[in-house]
Amino acid sequence: MSGQKRQSLLGKLISLLTYKPVSRSEFVLPELENENSRRAAPEDKSNLSYESEDSGNSGKEKDTATKKPVRASKWNRVKGEKGHGDKGSRPQEISPDVDVNLEIIKDEFNIPTNIDVIIREFKLAGMVDAFIVFIDGMADRGVVNDFILRQLMNPGQFENYKGGCVLEYVTGNVLSVNQAKKLKKYEEAITQILMGVTVLFADRCDSCLAIETRGYEKRGIEKPATEAVVRGSQEAFTENLKTSVTQIRRIIRNKDLVHEFFLIGKQDNSMASILYIKGIANPDVVKEVKRRLASIETDFIAGDGMLEQFIEDHPWMLVPQVLTTERPDRTAANILDGKVAILTEGTPFAIIVPANFFAFIQTPEDAYLRWQYGTVLRFLRISAFFIALLLPGIYIALTNYHPEMLPTDLAIAISKSREAVPFPSIVEVLLMETSFELIREAGIRVPGLIGTTLGIIGALILGQAAVAANIVSPILIIIVAVTGLGNFAIPNYSLAFGVRILRFFFIILGGIAGFFGISAGLVMLVARAVSIKSFGVPFMAPAWPRAGRSPDILTRYPVWYQEQRPDPISPVNKKRQPGISRGWVKGKPPEGKRE
Amino acid sequence: MRKKTALLSLLLLLLPAAGCYDRREPDEIAYVVAIGLDKGVTDRLRLSLQIVRMADESGARGMPGGGGQDTSPGDEPIIVTLDCPSLFTGMNMANSSISRKFNLMHAKLIIFSEELARSDDFEKQISGLMRYIEIRRIMHILVTRGKAEDFIRENKTLIGKNPPKTMQMLTDSSALTGMIPDANLFNFYNDFKSTFQRPIAILAGLNTFENLKNPGRGEIQESTSGGNYLAGELPRKGYLKRELLGTAVFNGTEMIGELNGTETRALAMIRGEFKRGFYTIKDPLKPDYLVSLEVFPARKPYVKVDLRGETPEIFVKIRLEGDLLAVQSAENYEKPDMKPVLEQAFESEIKSQVDSLVAKCQKEFKSDIFGLGRSVASKFLTIEDWERYRWHEKFPGATVNTEVDFIIRRTGLILKPSPLVTDGGVHK
Amino acid sequence: MLREGKIGVFEAISVITFMSATKVLYSSSRALVEASGTSGWLTTIVSGVTALAGFYFIILLMSRFPGQELVSVFETVFGRFAGIIFSLLMSVFFLLNSAMFAREFIEAVKVYAYPLSPPSFLLVIFILAIITVLYFGFECVARTAALFAWPMLAGLAVIVILAVPLYEMSNLYPVLGHGPACIIKTGLLRSSVYGDALALAVVINSLQGSEHFKKSGVTAIILSTAIIATGFLIYNLSFPYYIASESTIPLYALTRSIEYGRFFQRFEAIFLFVWSISGILASAINLYFALSTYSKVFRIDDHRALILPQTVIIFSVSLIPLDISSIAYEHVNHIRQYGSAIYFGIPLLALLVAVIRGIRGEQAGA
């Protein structure tokens, strides 16, 4: 006993002093074989399997002898054959044998590894073998239980069944669901299942039935987060495509409102819809939109933002070329103007094409208010746009190059306040602008409770402290703050972003060449802006090039004055309302009630 | 693609690296507010430059400064005086002691000494001035009796703390009182080379405060205009020594005379530049009492020119209107039949001032500072004809008839004054 | 063929007005004031009328050859070889104009605002802006001009209004300046100021119809005349004739003298913007027409290939004159006086030859 103890003590001592190699088991991600060849088809993972090591798969072929490099064209050819081989082994059309279908479905959906996909086998009317496939959570269980299983398992419903494909009978006589569609291909069936539809396979039928059972958790309709108005509807889009389209249909109760559906994205099958009014929207524009959408080949469309980047004309420009909005009423107004709206599943935003510069300066509130208020606000926003773009640049140009253009008092005040500052003006400006951007970016991520307080305190105290420490001059704080405010006043988020970037361009130009540099910069900016097009419509229309007197670009005329739809998008039907749209101004009030 | 982008960015970066030639930080500049030009002793010109002090009073940064800054009587002006051949070389020479670059763009006053203005150096100075970019034509031009350097030394800011503001507002009193003309370099230079008229400048001086005599040393003067002084002669005490009063009259090359405050007002009336002023005249019914009026121009003066005779005949009608300010005798001048009496009295007073001024300019100065030449020029069609006429030689012999038209519009707060009461309780 | 797109009447007018009216902002207006004394505005109206007459001949010429633009008209009328010579002459003239604009502008801006910068530095920025405008084609040029048209006019109007306190009617006396003979002679000599309307004929296929050509050309000449006459009028109203011929850039001197009390004093910031942008656009438009003519002569499809070489040429040419005196007194004077020979003389010659030789163009649709 003691010997053991002593041994263990000694042993412990010794073990303290001796070196023991550490046994590591770290996870390493090996490179795939032939990964260097850029032209490898992405689906080629035939060397790897998703099962774990001890399920008996061979795996670990990476330490075999190095393969000889294969010529690229031959590699592609080989891949091509093999690639389609996977799918080719599965037939396209649904087979009448329900067991074959079962096997294929199980194989496609990786059942039973994938626990979400439920296969429920049963006997139709006690006679026919059948099964339904659905995704738990996407399909509404209540509907599946009540309307599908109950009705299908009830032999009483099948009294008039004479034989032949049972699905025909079921559709016509048994199922009391509002949408049921026959599908002939596996591909379609799989897509439908993934969307939450229940698919019914039955024996001796070479088609399957897709039954509408969608019912999943989604966010309810809430207030718009970024486009708040005081007087106007307070609904915004949601992530669910169907709900969003419904919201638009609630506003435009027009039989010609066409809703077309696209599936984009290979791996995630994103759903995208376009809406337009047939008879108002220019058919060429619609064709172009459809062409661009249909030609996108990519993995994954996260939502509106990515879709916008895929279909826009000039991806290298700093300004957006499509209008993004969160509000169904604005979308509806634009659709009625003759534009096309694109919605995707997953983001509560709609894209409206074609868009022009003036659309970015308008807010939906302008339409709800009287025309005077809207007009004044628009002028304010345009000035905010120019302030946000040019103010720091002009400040630098004025103080460094043209002090004679300032009134004397102002010039001396600026000089005095700069006395103790150690930086040259332009360094100061860049420093402050960068910190402002930092504050903005940080403010997005600060948790809600301390968010607002931190913003105010941060800006105020930071600014005050910086001024008291003589790092910046107080005038500059004002300039940066006003620039920031101007930036926030721009209604469109993307455009505001573009302006944020462009103002640095103007700061640098103002810093190297004063007003002359800023004029040159303005000319360059304008030259670029007037030459870009958004879906065939010049960006700065209808002002440059001149295109019809539009009653709604900057100055908003009264609503009864707006008789034409906007000209630059060439709508098919131009007239919106007749010359006199307020009939009551023509006639007189009834007798006895006149002045 | 990447190489192209890299190359392009490098090339574009060259631009800012090459730039910024004209960049001057605002604190690298010494702002000059007043320029003084004297006759030099060891060189042709004695230049004085007054610059704004940039050292800030504490408490103007960051925290809002409460009261209690240093209460030294204004900033002492920083003045550099040196002898130099010309203004520009002088600026360079002065930079040997001042750390910042002189900048004349915000100068408000340019001050010539009388000695320099009366010499034939003056036209050299003026002609050499207008080419430089930093000289702005909205600077006011002053001529001091005495040395410009001394005047600038007295150019302090007592009431406020802002020297340029003070400089600018100094000359604004031309619109307030009419006792100095509104003369800036723009008008001065235009008139200097003019075939229409002759230039004028503001007269300035230093008041030694000795004019305010102690009782028993002086007597009350006859005239009631109050402006019969040249700059520096005003009987006052207190505040600063500098004084702007009167006009300096020039002919085509140099200064030839001065006008006092009253004459300046009359001049402004004929030129049509009179804006407003307070006048005091003797009460027409009771000469011991005085009446004060605030006078404005009603319309621009009407000038008619007749060139048919040997000498040009010019008729000037000055149209004024005014408000009653004070009637010491409490006479009821507001009544419709009494008003013309007052108006007549005023008109004759003004007419006598104007006439004496015109005579002085014709006989003594032989300069048309009234701008009458402009009306004469309207009778000619081409420049050659006009220049052959030689107005400046014809002016001293011209016949100038004046007429003054005055209407009292408003009478202030009192519409009918009650008369003064004697001891016996009976109204006078 | 060159892809030039379509432009409207407003854009055509802005393009031509920028080319012509900008001249009032530069040193050549000083020369006119010196030549005509108080009657600068009358002289320029005479020039405008002469230019209208010359433009009438251009209209006649172009309507003889519907559907063809100027270069091909020259080739048809003069034969290929001589036509090339004349077209190249015009192209070189536009190029020269552009280079002189650039140089005048740089010299003036160096005097008034940037004394220390070397002209090559300012020219580089100038030319970068020009390259950007030209790169995107004629539609971009026209639209940029149209976009800046109203702001520039508004800026000039603001200057006219702000300078009201400086005006004195008597500065215009004697009214006829150096005499009516002098007015007419100077007016005729300097009519090339408005000759830029000829440039519309080069791009006539971008205008939508010959009616547009007439309308925009005539309106542009009238508008430029109005602008330049107003510029001279306000300048003469503020500065009497003996001083007026002194300033390097008359309108800038005017703007510097505006004062409204302590605060509203220094308005030349407006002027600097108007001036810079007009200068850049005028030079760019002239250069575009030079490029366009040249490309049409040699049947070049894409004018962008030529932009960089032409800008290098402009850069060098504009730096040739050594100082502002030679520019103001020699080069610009020559251009003004002999320009009318090129602007109006060549088309007139072409018209005469066409009439004599009985050449007509194909009717539209033939």
A408/B108 touch (CB, cutoff 8 Å), yes or no:
yes
Neighbours of chain C (3+ CB pairs under 8 A): A, B
**Each residue of A350-367: b (16+ CB within 10 Å) or e?**
bbbbbbbbbbbbbbbbbb
A413 touching B (Cβ < 8 Å): no
- pLDDT value at residue C227: 93
How confident is the model over C183-198, as pLDDT tens digits? 888 888 888 888 888 8
Give, in degrees to the nearest 5, the angle at Cα C83 between C82 and C86.
90
Instruction: Count Cβ atoms within 10 A of the Cβ of residue C289 and give its class: 0-12 exposed, 13-18 middle, 19 or more buried.
Output: buried
CB nearest B194 (choices: C111, C128, C242) = C242
Question: pLDDT digit string (tens) for B109-153?
Answer: 899 999 999 988 888 888 888 888 888 888 899 999 988 888 888
Angstrom distance (rounded) from CA B322 to CA B277: 9
Find tokens 């309108």 and name the residue: C251
pLDDT reported for residue B375:
86
Chain A residues lying within 8 Å of C265, measured CB to CB? 407-408
**Model confidence band, residue A504 (pLDDT cutoffs 50, 70, 90):** very high
Q: Do A409 and B162 touch (CB under 8 A)?
A: yes
Contacts of B among chains (3+ CB pairs under 8 A): A, C
Q: Is the dihedral of CA A9, A11, A15, A18 positive or negative?
A: positive
Written as one letter, the residue type at B267 is L
What number is the average pLDDT over the span C66-83?
84
Q: Which residues pair with A209 in a beta bridge?
A: A182, A200
Beta carbons of A400 and A393 less than 8 angstroms apart: no
The domain made up of C9-357 is a member of CATH 1.20.1740.10: yes
Q: Which chain B residue has its CA at the smallest distance from A467's CA?
A: B62
* C140 interaction partners in chain A (CB closer than 8 Å): 527, 530-531
Q: From CA C177, how far away is CA C32, in angstroms rounded?
A: 12
Neighboring chain B residues of A417 at a CB cutoff of 8 Å: 56, 60-61
pLDDT in tens, A364-417: 888 788 888 888 888 899 999 999 999 999 999 988 888 888 888 888 888 888
| Interface touch A512/B20, C-beta < 8 Å | yes
Contact B31 A514 (CB under 8 A): no
Confidence at residue A178, expressed as pLDDT on a 0 to 100 scale: 86
pLDDT in tens, A540-574: 877 776 666 666 777 777 777 777 777 777 778 77
CB contact under 8 A, C265 and A398: no
What DSSP designation does B92 have? H
pTM above 0.95, yes or no: no
DSSP B249: E
Asked if A536 and A354 count as a contact pair (C-beta separation under 8 A), the reply is: yes
A&C contacts, CB < 8 Å: 111
Closest CA to C229 of C101, C354, C45: C45
Render the burial of C225-235: b for 16+ CB within 10 Å, e for the rest: bebbbbbbbbb
The set of residues, in sequence order, having a beta carbon less than 8 Å from that of C15 and lying 6+ positions away, is C7, C141, C142, C145, C146, C199, C200, C220, C285
Q: Over 60: is that where the pLDDT of B289 sits?
A: yes
- Inform me whether the pLDDT recorded for B61 exceeds 80: no
Q: How far apart are CA C345 and CA C335, in angstroms?
A: 14
Instruction: Summarize the confidence of residues A155-166 as an average pLDDT.
Output: 77
Considering only the beta carbons, identify the residue of B21, B137, B168 that sits closest to C256: B137
Asked whether the beta carbons of residue A464 and residue B62 sit closer than 8 angstroms, the reply is yes
Chain C hits for A522, Cβ within 8 Å: 277
Subunit contact C176:B381, Cβ cutoff 8 A: yes
Q: What is the pLDDT of residues C113-162, one digit of tens each?
A: 888 888 888 888 898 899 999 988 888 888 899 999 999 999 989 989 98
Q: Residue A71 — very low, low, confident or very high, per pLDDT cuts 50/70/90?
A: low
Rounded to 10°, the helix C268-297/A493-531 angle is: 50
CA distances from A355 to A566, C61, C115 (A): 11, 43, 45
Q: Which of A519, A523, A546 lies nearest to residue C8, judging by beta carbons?
A: A546
Residues of B in CB contact (< 8 Å) with C are 15, 18-19, 21-22, 130, 133, 136-138, 165, 168-169, 172, 184, 186, 189-190, 193-196, 371, 374-375, 377-378, 380-386
Quote the radius of gyration of chain A (alpha carbons, Å): 33
Whether the CB-CB separation of B362 and B323 falls below 8 Å is answered with no
User: Cβ–Cβ of B195/C242 closer than 8 Å?
Assistant: yes
For A455-517, give the DSSP string: HHHHHHHHHHHHHHTTSS-HHHHHHHHHHHHHHHT-S-HHHHHHHHHHHHHHHHHHHHHHHHH
| The pLDDT of residue A62 | 41
> What is the CA A368 to chain-centroid distance, rounded?
27
Say if residues A503 and A390 touch (Cβ distance below 8 Å): yes
Contact A296, A267 (CB under 8 A): no
Q: Cα distance from B381 to chain C (closest Cα, Å)?
A: 5
Q: What is the mean pLDDT of chain B?
A: 84
How far from A377 is each of A35, A320, A367, A380, A563, CA to CA, in Å? 57, 22, 12, 5, 22
Confidence band for A443, pLDDT divided at 50, 70 and 90: confident
Lowest mean pLDDT among A135-144, A288-297, C356-365: C356-365
Identity of the residue in A406, A516, A531 whose CB atom sits nearest the CB atom of C140: A531
Sort out which chain C residues have CB atoms less than 8 A from B199's CB and list them. Answer: none
CA A577 – CA A579 distance, rounded (Å): 7
Give the separation between CA A206 and CA A92, rounded to whole angstroms.
Answer: 11
The whole-angstrom separation of Cα B137 and Cα A226 is: 53
DSSP letters of C256-289? HT--BTTTB--THHHHHHHHHHHHHHHHHHHHHH
Distance to chain A for C30, nearest Cα, Å = 23
- CA dist., res. B37 & res. B112, Å (int): 5
> In angstroms, rounded to a whole number, what is the distance separating the alpha carbons of residues A19 and A16?
8
Closest-CA distance of chain C to residue A549, Å = 13
Chain B residue closest to C172 (CA)? Answer: B378
Q: What is the ipTM of this complex?
A: 0.90
- What is the overall mean pLDDT for chain C? 84
Q: Residues in chain A, how many?
A: 595
What average pLDDT score do residues A53-79 get? 53
Provide the mean pLDDT of chain A: 81
Using a CB–CB cutoff of 8 Å, tell me whether A412 touches chain C: no
Q: What is the pLDDT of residue C364?
A: 46
CB-nearest partner of C170 from B184, B375, B384: B375
Please give the biggest Cα pair distance in chain B.
112
Quote the distance between the C-alpha of residue B74 and its chain's center: 24
- pLDDT for the residue numbered B426: 59
What tens digit of pLDDT does each residue of A463-484 get?
788 888 888 888 888 898 899 8
Instruction: Give the mean pLDDT of A508-516.
Output: 89
Whether A404 sits inside 8 A of B134 (CB atoms) is: yes
pLDDT confidence bin for A87, thresholds 50/70/90 = very low
Q: Do residues A291 and A467 lie in contact, with contact meaning Cβ atoms separated by under 8 Å?
A: no
List, in order, residues 6 or more apart from A119 with CB less than 8 Å away: A102, A105, A106, A111, A131, A132, A133
Distance of CA A234 to CAs A231, A237, A245, B84, C337, Å?
Answer: 9, 10, 16, 77, 69
Q: In terms of Cα–Cα distance, which of B257, B269, B283 is closest to B364?
A: B257
What Cα–Cα distance (Å) separates residue B83 from each residue in B37, B44, B132?
10, 7, 20
For residues C228 and C193, the answer to whether their CB atoms sit within 8 Å is: yes
CA–CA separation, B199 and B192 (whole Å): 5
Residue A406, exposed/middle/buried by CB under 10 A (0-12, 13-18, 19+)? buried
C-alpha C162/C-alpha A207 separation (Å) is 84
Average pLDDT over residues C173-179: 80
Reported as type and span, the H/E element at residue A141 is helix A141-143
The whole-angstrom separation of Cα B255 and Cα B247 is 10
Enter the tokens of residue A21: 């190699």
Q: What is the pLDDT of residue A451?
A: 66
Closest chain A residue by Cα to residue B26: A415
Chain B neighbours among C 285-344 (CB < 8 Å)?
Answer: none
pLDDT at B337 over 80: yes
Do the beta carbons of residue B405 and residue B347 sit within 8 Å?
A: yes
